[in-house]
């Protein structure tokens, strides 16, 4: 087996991983491994913006209150305080590195999104905020000699011995390599591909959740999957996210009969929290025997919409939908995981030497329901904290003898991988999605358990191992959803 040694290993190249890498590079050598290109992560696709209390009419205290309220009583208050207090510094840091957020003259523009009581959402190039943040972070990473980047290096498993993490196994160029590291930071992103409808990129297959579970890490809140209310629903089109910021600018939701209905479900209407809007849409789809509803911006200024949401406008136009003149067909899709690998506010897990940050981690900052646009801020704030904590408590990797390392790859490929992947995703969407019950969760559990044999091997290809991780992550979600008997936040049980 190929064996490499490094001071710090960061798994994932999104906002949390790169921000952690900057801190770790202050103290030693850093490997950033990612299974696709460096920029292919959920960060790249984040449209709406980043929430931060920098506007004159806003305060850190109000941002704190809005986050707590959206979390439906399950937020960890200490984590929320860290988020809102350190957020402004992280954003100003980004700007100093060259981030170009939208401005009017020389003043930053702040917009409104659902469940925010103030205009505090910064955006870049209209609706490409994540892409701009990723651009700046990658540029900075390229300028730091101590950070080595490895694309197309697939993370297989953590190396854990006597309760300590000593790095990870990865699959690169068809070979398994063991990367021994003084500290390992998981920043592998989310779980969207566990569901048949998702706004997430193809790389979001729950790898970090499943591998951490196999290694003995504690996970928390896996029942809390956020479903975005509005993803594009059009023949031949991907489930492209239609940003919540459109509703912040005045877009309304109509059913298949072109009737507004959100006011019947919640007094905040289109600006209710995401879980409320998603369930209302599902209810209306069921009531009207349709497959989607409509998002309507045709009453808003056409030129403003084109300028404010250029990416959404151009993407929809490529599927023959002119959003300034036509209604946009939309339906909910899996979007964000609020639970994950349990950490403290410095990213520490229960395994010494292992840290986690970003969507794969659960600090408790989101509670049962994430406040819109807090995710990019979370990645910046807790990525930096995880990197700093890793520097303070590195693990001695000399205790591991490379000769004793082994991650056996099965020579037998997985039979019918496409069929297995599709089955898991359909089961999760239909039985453990936006609305759940004991009956549907039991059916999901039985269906997933019948595929348990998939989890017993390590495979020679990324695709097969992703299916294994999708299955194990799905099982964790179903188990957690079954054990939480009440409805709260994004976890809604009809029974």
N-term to C-term CA, the chain: 51
The DSSP code for 52 is -
Other Cβ atoms within 10 Å of 406 Cβ, number = 9
Catalytic residue among 274, 279, 421, 462: 274
For the chain, the maximum distance between any two Cα atoms, rounded to a whole number of angstroms, is: 68
Instruction: Return the beta strands (E) in 112-174 as ranges.
Output: 121-122, 147-150, 154-161, 164-172
Return d(Cα 100, Cα 103) in angstroms, integer. 9
Nearest to 222 by CA among 448, 427, 478, 441: 478
Give Cα 82 distance to the centre of its chain: 19
CB 229, CB 274: distance < 8 Å: yes
Could you tell me which residues come within 8 angstroms of residue 314 by beta carbon, excluding any fewer than 6 positions away? none
Q: How are the residues of the chain apportioned to helix, strand and coil, as percentages rounded to the nearest 5?
A: 40, 20, 40
Angle, CA 84 vertex, CA 78 and CA 85 arms, to 5°: 85
Matching residue, tokens 């208050």: 77
Matching residue, tokens 């609706």: 127
The DSSP code for 397 is G
- Which backbone phi and psi does 257 adopt, to 5 degrees? -90, 10
Nearest to 190 by CA among 38, 368, 359: 359
β partners of residue 354 = 184
Give 224's Cβ-side CA count (13 Å radius). 28
Pair of tokens at residue 118: 């103030």
Is residue 135 among the annotated active site residues? no
Q: Is the dihedral of CA 132, 138, 142, 145 positive or negative?
A: positive
Q: Is the dihedral of CA 187, 456, 429, 266 positive or negative?
A: negative
219-220 and 30-33 as β-strands: parallel, antiparallel, unpaired? Answer: unpaired
Could you tell me which residues come within 8 angstroms of residue 455 by beta carbon, excluding any fewer than 6 positions away? 468, 471, 472
DSSP codes of every residue in 275-323:
HHHHHHHHHHHHHTT-S-EEEE-TTS-HHHHHHH-HHHHHHHHHTT--T
- Which backbone phi and psi does 143 adopt, to 5 degrees? -90, -5
The residues annotated as belonging to the active site are 274
């Amino acid at each position: 087996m190929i064996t490499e040694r490094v001071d710090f290993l960061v798994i994932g190249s999104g906002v949390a991983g790169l921000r952690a890498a900057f801190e770790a590079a202050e103290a030693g050598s850093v490997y950033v491994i990612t299974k696709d290109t460096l920029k292919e992560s959920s960060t790249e696709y984040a449209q709406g913006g980043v929430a931060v209390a920098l506007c004159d009419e806003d305060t850190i205290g109000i941002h704190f209150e809005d986050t707590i309220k959206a979390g439906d009583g399950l937020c960890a208050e200490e984590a929320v305080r860290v988020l809102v207090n350190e957020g402004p510094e992280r954003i100003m840091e980004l700007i100093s590195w060259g981030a170009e957020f939208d401005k009017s003259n020389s003043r930053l523009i702040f917009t409104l999104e659902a469940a925010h009581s103030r205009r505090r959402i910064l955006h870049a190039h209209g609706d490409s905020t994540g892409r701009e943040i990723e651009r700046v972070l990658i540029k900075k990473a390229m300028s730091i000699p101590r950070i080595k980047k490895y694309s197309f290096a697939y993370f297989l498993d953590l190396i854990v011995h006597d309760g300590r993490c000593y790095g990870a196994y990865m699959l690169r160029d068809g070979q398994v390599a063991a990367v021994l590291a003084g500290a390992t930071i998981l920043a592998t992103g989310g779980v969207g591909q566990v569901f048949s409808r998702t706004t997430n990129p193809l790389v979001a297959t729950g790898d970090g959740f499943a591998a951490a579970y196999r290694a003995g890490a504690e996970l928390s809140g896996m029942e809390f999957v956020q479903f975005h209310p509005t993803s594009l629903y059009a023949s031949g089109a991907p489930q492209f996210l239609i940003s919540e910021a459109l509703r912040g600018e005045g877009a309304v939701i109509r059913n298949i009969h072109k009737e507004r209905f959100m006011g019947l479900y919640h007094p905040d209407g289109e600006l209710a929290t995401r879980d409320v809007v998603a369930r209302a849409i599902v209810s209306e789809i069921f009531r009207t025997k349709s497959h989607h509803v409509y998002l309507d911006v045709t009453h808003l200024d056409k030129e403003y919409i084109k300028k404010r949401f250029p990416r959404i406008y151009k993407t929809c136009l490529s599927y023959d939908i002119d959003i300034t003149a036509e209604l946009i067909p939309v339906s909910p899709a899996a979007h964000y995981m609020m639970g994950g690998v349990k950490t403290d506010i410095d990213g520490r897990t229960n395994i010494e030497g292992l840290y986690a940050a970003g969507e794969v981690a659960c600090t408790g900052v989101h509670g049962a329901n994430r406040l819109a646009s807090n995710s990019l801020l979370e990645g910046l704030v807790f990525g930096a904290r995880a990197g700093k904590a890793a520097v303070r408590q590195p693990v001695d990797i000399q205790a591991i003898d490379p000769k004793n390392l082994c991650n056996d790859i099965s020579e037998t490929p997985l039979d019918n991988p496409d069929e297995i992947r599709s089955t898991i995703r359909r089961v999760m969407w239909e039985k453990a999605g936006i609305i759940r019950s004991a009956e549907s969760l039991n059916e999901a559990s039985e269906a997933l358990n019948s595929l348990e044999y998939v989890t017993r091997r390590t495979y020679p290809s990324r695709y097969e191992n992703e299916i294994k991780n999708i299955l194990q992550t799905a099982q964790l979600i179903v188990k957690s959803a079954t054990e939480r008997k009440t409805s709260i936040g994004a976890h809604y049980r009809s029974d």
